[in-house]
Chains A and B, each alone.
Chain A
Amino acid sequence: MENSADDYRIQSLDMDTQMLLKTALKDPSSVNLEKVSDILVDQSLKDQVFSKEAGRICYTIVQAEAKQNNGNVFRRNLLTRLQQEFKSREETRARSLQEWVCLVTFICNIFDYLKVNNMPMVALVHPVYDCLMRLSQPDALMNEEEVDCLVLQLHRIGEQLEKVNGPRMDELFYLLRDGFLLQEDLTSMARLLLLEILEFRAGGWVLSSTAHKYYYSELAD
């Protein structure tokens, strides 16, 4: 089952890089996998659209390498890079909100796609929570960009996260409730997003149809 290049959204990269990635997908041992993982991480930090789906191409390369020669060079390099970026996330956030948001999106995407024996990578659980907790701090909630990122991730991986660590999810939602209720400098959009995610989780990570109408029906116009 081969995904076309479109599925991986690699059009934003130059032709040479696209070729390299395509080769990595087909014949991983023939390319420098460390370089490939660096390219993917760098691009994810720059390009928000790319960061939302980069997990998929990473997963495919991991599988391809494992199948071809039982290796995990790519995965190891990817995780090492990711860990470095995670360690310096506060500096990244101070430097560029965009990059910070891309980083969180990317880490969550990797968490979503890169499973080990169909289970999420335990090593990523706390780091993901750390990122989401950071996004729930008062100084982050006042930025729509960050709130938007937060709720997007919770929509995508909230349920999984809760399954692997319920208490931390509870902790996160205390912050969200407090923020929604008490924080005065929130924009109305931010409040809307928070209310929706509160209802979403309360409904078991599903929005009731009436709630859905309330929040989403206007988009149809």
Chain B
Amino acid sequence: MSNWTRGRRREARDNEHDNGSSGPSRWSHCRKRGVDGSLRANREGDAGPEKGGESDSRKASFTTPESTGPVSRCGRKADWGSQVENDEMRRDVHRDMQRRRILGAEVPQRERKISSGSSESCDSREGENIETDEAVLLRRQKQINYGKNTLAYDRYIKEIPKHLRQPGVHPKTPNKFRKYSRRSWDQQIKLWKVKLHAWDPPTEEGQDKVLDDIEELGIDDVMDIELDFPNLTDFQNAPASLATHSRSLEGDDDCSGTPVKIQKTEITEEPDLA
């Protein structure tokens, strides 16, 4: 690992510490909501909620950038707001599962190319390939929600209606119902979010840098692998180093989505991948 990348990671971590979990991060301008959950109306640089105001109401537990308020570390969230939100999400996931069961049953076996079939309705072979574990689905849904709770996503869906989306070019939300290894899934989410950054609202600093970094890596190679639906073997072989690093950084923390700052660090890490 080069000194440069070590430095970057430290920087990312420092950022996280400085801002604690209360101040704006370098990515806060991309987020639709501030730490307190309120919509960010103005888009200037670090126009997030002030540090001062927050620490008054914040409890000893920390706040993740995407959450709408203080959350306890991974445990059951005792506050009513979180309970209701979690119930809601659970119901949504169950409803999705039901829909999936119905759609899956109706679609007959179809000829499939190896790396095809991204849209929900043409996942034949449903029986073995469908993810049904509620805990997994909930975790995946949470990760998806983090990605969708961004200004970039808002701008993206407004700009490119579904029927105009081109595979490979336009980011596509990973399908939570397909069976993937944990590593593979987390990787898909990361890449999806990286792709979404292309629709980040413009700022004075930061934006160009991200795109530069991405180009530098030849990340297009990695993107192509994803295409419509990532081929499992490709994932396991190619960005092995990326995946390992992601593991060590995230640990097995089910409760946080991939913090965007760490994600950026990883992408800039291994220029020699391909």
Interfacial residues, chain A to chain B (CB-CB below 8 A): 29, 33-34, 69, 71-73, 75-77, 79-80, 82-83, 116-117, 119, 121-124, 127
Is B39 in the interface zone, CB < 8 Å from A?
yes
Q: Is the CB of A76 within 8 A of B39?
A: no
Known: A73-B38, A76-B69. Is A123-B91 also a contact (CB below 8 A)? no
A-B contact pairs, 18 of them (CB 8 A): A34-B38, A71-B39, A72-B68, A72-B85, A73-B38, A76-B69, A79-B84, A80-B80, A82-B80, A83-B79, A116-B87, A117-B88, A121-B84, A122-B83, A123-B80, A123-B83, A123-B84, A123-B87
A121→B84 CA distance, assembly (Å)? 6
Q: Is the CB of A73 within 8 A of B37?
A: yes
- Greatest chain A CB density within 10 A among B33, B83, B84 is at B84
Report B25-72 residues with CB < 8 Å from chain A CB: 33, 36-39, 41, 68-69
Q: Is the CB of A73 within 8 A of B39?
A: yes
Residue of B nearest to A119 (CB): B91
Is B81 in the interface zone, CB < 8 Å from A?
yes
Known: A29-B39, A83-B80. Is A76-B91 also a contact (CB below 8 A)? no
Q: Is the CB of A71 within 8 A of B37?
A: yes
A80→B79 CA distance, assembly (Å)? 7
A116→B83 CA distance, assembly (Å)? 12
Give chain A residues whose Cβ lies under 8 Å from the Cβ of B69: 76, 80
Q: Is the CB of A79 within 8 A of B80?
A: yes
Give chain B residues whose Cβ lies under 8 Å from the Cβ of A82: 80
A76→B33 CA distance, assembly (Å)? 14
Give chain B residues whose Cβ lies under 8 Å from the Cβ of A127: 80
The 4 closest A-B pairs by CB, nearest first: A123-B83, A76-B81, A79-B80, A79-B81
- Greatest chain A CB density within 10 A among B38, B69, B81, B85 is at B81
Give chain B residues whose Cβ lies under 8 Å from the Cβ of A80: 69, 79-81
Interfacial residues, chain B to chain A (CB-CB below 8 A): 33, 36-39, 41, 68-69, 79-81, 83-85, 87-88, 91
Residue of A nearest to B92 (CB): A117
Name 4 extra pairs, CB < 8 A, besides A69-B39, A121-B80, A123-B84. A33-B38, A73-B36, A79-B79, A79-B84
State the Cβ distance, B18 to closest chain A Cβ, in Å.
Answer: 26
Q: Is the CB of A75 within 8 A of B39?
A: no
A158→B88 CA distance, assembly (Å)? 23
Known: A79-B84, A116-B91, A121-B84. Is A73-B68 also a contact (CB below 8 A)? yes
State the Cβ distance, A192 to closest chain B Cβ, in Å.
Answer: 35
Residue of B nearest to A72 (CB): B85
A77→B37 CA distance, assembly (Å)? 10
Q: Is the CB of A76 within 8 A of B88?
A: no
Give chain A residues whose Cβ lies under 8 Å from the Cβ of B83: 121-123
State the Cβ distance, A64 to closest chain B Cβ, in Å.
Answer: 13
Q: Is the CB of A75 within 8 A of B87?
A: no
Q: Is the CB of B37 within 8 A of A76?
A: yes
Residue of A nearest to B38 (CB): A73
State the Cβ distance, B53 to closest chain A Cβ, in Å.
Answer: 11
Known: A80-B79, A83-B79. Is A71-B84 also a contact (CB below 8 A)? no
Give chain A residues whose Cβ lies under 8 Å from the Cβ of B91: 116-117, 119
Q: Is the CB of B81 within 8 A of A75?
A: yes
- Greatest chain B CB density within 10 A among A69, A122, A123 is at A123
State the Cβ distance, B31 to closest chain A Cβ, in Å.
Answer: 13
Give chain B residues whose Cβ lies under 8 Å from the Cβ of A72: 37, 68, 85
A71→B32 CA distance, assembly (Å)? 10
A124→B33 CA distance, assembly (Å)? 26
State the Cβ distance, B47 to closest chain A Cβ, in Å.
Answer: 15
Q: Is the CB of A75 within 8 A of B84?
A: yes
A73→B32 CA distance, assembly (Å)? 12
Give chain A residues whose Cβ lies under 8 Å from the Cβ of B68: 72-73, 76
A34→B33 CA distance, assembly (Å)? 14
Give chain B residues whose Cβ lies under 8 Å from the Cβ of A75: 81, 84
Give chain A residues whose Cβ lies under 8 Å from the Cβ of B85: 72, 76
Give chain B residues whose Cβ lies under 8 Å from the Cβ of A117: 88, 91
A73→B84 CA distance, assembly (Å)? 12
